[in-house]
Structure 1
Amino acid sequence: MNNKPYIVIMAGGIGSRFWPYSRRKKPKQFLDVLGTGRTLLQMTFDRFREIADEEQFRIITYKKYVHLVKEQLPELTDQQILIEPNRKNTATCIAYATYRIYSKDPDATLIVTPVDHLILQESKFLRTIKKAVVAAQEGERLITLGIKPNRPETGYGYIQYIEGSGKEVLKVKTFTEKPNIKLAKTFLESGEFVWNSGMFVWKASSLVKAFRQYMPDLAEVFEEGSEFFGTEKEPEFVAKAYLQVKNISIDYGIMEKSSEVYVILGDFGWADLGSWNSLRENRERDENQNVVEANALLYNTKNCFIKTDSDKLVVVEGLDNFLVNETDNVLLICALDGDRKFRDFVSNARKKGEDFI
């Protein structure tokens, strides 16, 4: 079969930390958040076209977003869009994609990527990814890309690798998924940890073996589906499978447990566009470090993100580190780094009516 890697793009999230700009009907991966003329999904697809043929792509997304995937990537066939009946976190998402590909191509190599990354130096990124693809062919290695941290971020996994365990492919000592702020500060101060970028490279057979060893219940469920993948019975099988498995991340389920995890360090201008604050850091700012995407007058205001979807004049005075966003029928004003509150915002907005989320 084709020896180029399969590209699995995870595009089923709801993007709640970008609310109200990102809504359940059209979450952030289907929006042009960077003003490039391409959505995050399209940018992720474009990024990997140099190293994979069009037919090697698989987009896995929530059932309500299939029409958006088709609109934005019309070059893909229906067989390349994997539909999740409900959300069961990344272990289930990745298992579905892996077992489906493995059933047709047991020699396949997979690159698994989230949809919300910014890569500023794409040529350097692709060189790193190609190294990871080669490295994944040795043994049962599970490769992840590591990024040197510059702040105590609680939204990423952290990797501690063994110094001197390799020139470029480094053996992972510990893998910690989303620590609390105190532990994140300890990791940063130690200088021994890097962020897990959330991008993985492995042979399908290597991950199947890891599922059998560390998540046998999940493995048993998806191994029963080999005869249904690619047939009209696939949706029925997947719906039943998703009811039987736990809601757990690939980090908790596999990466923290496996002795076959390796990391390749990357320096290619990476950012996870997971929140308004992270987006602000990667947009053009004025002399007061404000990002302004609105018809606005600012006075004594700094470190803010002001974005509206209308020509309404916005006058802001005396704010520091605030988000002001008006999208459709919602006006949000809050601390820019308060994204931990967004689940509460969305939950309480739902009580006001489904139109607000």
Structure 2
Amino acid sequence: MLAAFIMAGGSGERFWPLSTRERPKQLLKLIDPERSMIRMTVDRILPLIPKERIFIGTNAIQAAAIKKELPMLPEDNIIVEPSFKDTAAAIGYGATQISEKLKVKSEKLSKEITMIVLASDHLIKNEENFRQRLTTAIETAKKNKSIVTLGIKPTKPETGYGYIETEECYIGEPAKVKRFWEKPSLERAEKYVENGNYLWNSGMFVFQISTMMDSFNKYMPKHSEIFGNIKRISRIENPEEKIKEQFEKFEKMSIDFGIMEKAENIEVIPVDFGWNDIGSYPALDDVFEKTETGTINRNGKIKEFNSRNNIVIGTGEKEIGLLGIKDVVVVETEDQILICKKNEAQNIKKIIR
């Protein structure tokens, strides 16, 4: 049986002032004027997985907005984490909850649930190709009892992503992971791309739940113990407060550091389906068409002179003039205005705290 777990607990800091903690990037219609990022993610996997087995992992602040945004999903499929404890706790808790919920819904449920873990705010241009690669990952995870990740074939020496090193690298063909690498310097990233056997770490995973829980037992036993406690507590009446107490015991740790960098049964499928994690405003340079001056204009009335390579997002109510300006992000909302150099966009969180 297949299930999907979409992680949607982002803080919304990198796309301020468009996004807020209550309405982060995944709830914005940033790419498609008709659909939010999370709605695009759900629509992307509906041909593979029925809505009854698509689950969302989020927090109490955003849960109501997500339920409103995804009315086609059963309300019980919104899994609310009591506190943010990073991706290891989120994925393990999601796997535990999904197992319990599907057992309740189906008396004929087989012991093995294959779980697809996705981010809620990534852009994928070739969705048919994406589903084909996911199908390969599903088959590989079942056959080899492995944890499979999708590795993006680099298009440039990017310093903002982690990398996955493989022994061989052929698009669409599963390969053994040799090592995970943290975000590199530009010089090292250039070598990775030149070597040809390094992939961007997409943060997308496919595994049988039993395989992942075995890995927690082996590499993160404290997490595993807490999952067991939560599983027992979940069966009592009004368990929310006790589950919250257990959550506070989790050490904050990513799934990459806790399991992926240690486990031996990790495989990667090299892919090239037009992926972009839309991590900050400059990522939009790879998404939208530009004016003759290289500027992206989204819903803004702009006048440019001696200006180029800017990103302008406006309400359409005010005219924005750019004079002698280049490589700048200008974002206007009803209440706030952001102006920053593109190379400072990663630091937006420093001015909103």
**Residue in 2 that maps onto 1:57:** 54
Distance across 2 between alignment mates of 1:167 and 1:282: 24
Shift of 1:25: 2.1
- The correspondence for 1:240, drawn from 242, 245, 249, is 245
Q: Per the alignment, do residues 165 and 297 of structure 1 end up closer, same or farther by CA in structure 2, a change over 3 Å counting?
A: closer
Answer whether contact 2:21 2:61 (CA < 8 A) is retained: no
1:206 aligns with 2:211: yes
CA-to-partner distance for each residue in 1:130-173, whole Å, 9 max, x for gaps? 11111100233000001111233333221001128998110000
Q: Tell me what 2:306 maps to.
A: 300
Looking at structure 2, the residues matched to 20 and 184 of structure 1 have their Cα atoms a distance apart, in angstroms, of 31
Question: Which of 70, 83, 91 is residue 73 of structure 1 equivalent to?
Answer: 70
Shift of 1:234: 4.2
Q: Which moved more, 1:58-67 or 1:337-346?
A: 337-346
Of 254, 261, 267, 2:259 maps to 254
2:176 corresponding residue in structure 1: 171
How far is 1:33 from its partner? Answer: 0.3
Post-superposition offset of 1:8 = 0.4
Tell me which residue corresponds to 1:15.
12
| 1:26 aligned to which of 5, 8, 23 | 23
| Separation in structure 2 between the aligned mates of residue 279 and residue 166 of structure 1, nearest angstrom | 25
Identify if the C-alpha distance between structure 1 residues 271 and 139 changes in structure 2 by more than 3 Å, giving closer, same or farther: same
Amino acid at match of 2:88: A
The separation in 1 between residues aligned to 2:323 and 2:164, in whole angstroms, is 42
> How far has the Cα of 1:287 moved from its partner?
1.6
Does the CA-based 8 Å contact 1:152-1:188 persist in structure 2? yes
**Unpaired segments ≥5 residues, structure 2:** 104-108
- Alpha-carbon separation, structure 1, partners of 2:280 and 2:55: 25
Match of 2:230 among 222, 225, 232: 225
SS at match of 1:125: helix
The 8 Å contact of residues 6 and 56 in structure 1, kept in 2 or not, is answered as yes
Output the amino acid matched with 2:141.
Answer: A
Distance of aligned partners of 1:145 and 1:329 in 2 relative to their CA distance in 1, 3 Å threshold: same
- Alignment partner, residue 87 of structure 1: 84
Q: Distance between the aligned counterparts of 2:26 and 2:323, measured in 1? A: 32
Query: Match for residue 163 of structure 2?
Result: 158
Which of 295, 320, 340 is the equivalent residue of 1:334? Answer: 340
Contact 1:13-1:62 at 8 Å conserved across structures: no
Contact (CA 8 Å) 2:170, 2:270: kept in 1 or not? Answer: no
Q: 1:328 to 1:25 in 2, by over 3 A?
A: farther
Q: Could you give the per-residue CA deviations for residues 297-326 of structure 1, whole angstroms, max 9, x where no partner exists?
A: 111221110111241111001112110111
List gaps (5 residues or longer) in structure 1. 348-357
Structure 1: how far apart are the matches of 2:237 and 2:194?
A: 53
Distance 1:151 1:246 in 2: 35
Supply the distance in 2 between the matched residues of 1:111 and 1:333 (Cα, whole angstroms).
38
Match of 1:11, as an amino acid? A
Deviation at 1:284, TM superposition (A): 1.8
Aligned AA for 1:123? E
* Superposition TM-score, scaled by structure 1 size: 0.91
CA shift, 1:215, in A, is 0.7
Among 45, 55, 74, the alignment partner of 1:48 is 45
Are residues 234 and 159 of structure 1, via their aligned partners in 2, closer, same or farther at CA, if it must alter by over 3 Å? farther
CA contact (8 A) 1:149 1:194 kept: yes
Q: Relative to structure 1, is the Cα distance of residues 20 and 164 closer, same or farther in structure 2, using a 3 angstrom cutoff?
A: closer
Work out whether residues 177 and 251 of structure 1, in 8 Å CA contact, stay in contact via their aligned partners in 2. no
Aligned 8 A contact 1:300 1:319 in 2:
yes
Secondary structure of 1:71's match?
A: helix
Matched, 1:280 2:285: yes
Task: State the superposition RMSD in angstroms.
Answer: 2.0
In structure 2, give the amino acid aligned to 1:101.
I
Assess if the C-alpha contact under 8 Å between 1:79 and 1:230 holds in 2.
no
The whole-number CA distance in structure 2 between the counterparts of 1:201 and 1:177 is 21
- Which of residues 254, 268, 271 in structure 2 aligns to 1:263? 268
1:137 equivalent in alignment to 2:142: yes
In structure 1, the residue matched to 2:117 is 112
SS at match of 1:184: helix
Other-structure match for 1:39: 36
Distance 1:149 1:16 in 2: 26
| Correspondence for 1:122 among 127, 131, 135 | 127
| Stretch of structure 1 that moved more, 159-168 or 141-150 | 159-168
Contact 1:84 1:238 in 2 (8 A): no
Share of identical aligned residues, percent? 35
Matched residues, number: 344
Distance across 2 between alignment mates of 1:230 and 1:308 = 49
